[in-house]
Amino acid sequence: MAGYSGTPLADKLGIKAGMSLYASHAPSEYTSIVHPLPDGVTLVARATRTTDMVHVFASRAAELDAALKRYRRTLGPTAVVWVSWPKKSAKVPTDITEDTVRALALPLGFVDVKVCAVDATWSGLKLVVRRALR
């Protein structure tokens, strides 16, 4: 599902040919919602220093906080982290909002650069490491 814009999710997320992508706690239908992926995209089993993009799904702020701290230590300085949390309209229990994501991410040196609808359940916020900290 491409969300509301009609743009394929892989395009909205900025997934490019040849990237390595780690999806953390993704819904079971994740591969179908990001389909089609550009040529050569590799879905990896864990995030490492060479992972290009992490897409983390969370419904609890404490879990997201731990994940963001882990990815800030683990990933390379140019990696992208997409954080997805349940939309209010999805009626999924959560204590995360867009403001929560920022409150957890900004002190770690991340800066948010884009927001998008992932699907009917999930919103997404794109994080990158602040240039001065790379």
Convert the pLDDT of each residue in 53-93 to its tens digit: 999 999 999 999 999 999 999 999 999 999 999 999 999 99
> What is the H or E stretch that residue 22 is in?
strand 20-24
**Which residue in the block uniquely carries the two structure tokens 């919602």?**
33
pTM value is 0.93
Cis peptide before 8 (omega within 30 of 0): no
The pLDDT of 1-29, averaged and rounded, is 87
| Homologous superfamily of 9-133 | Vaccinia Virus protein VP39 (3.40.50.150)
pLDDT in tens, 23-55: 999 999 999 999 999 999 999 999 999 999 999
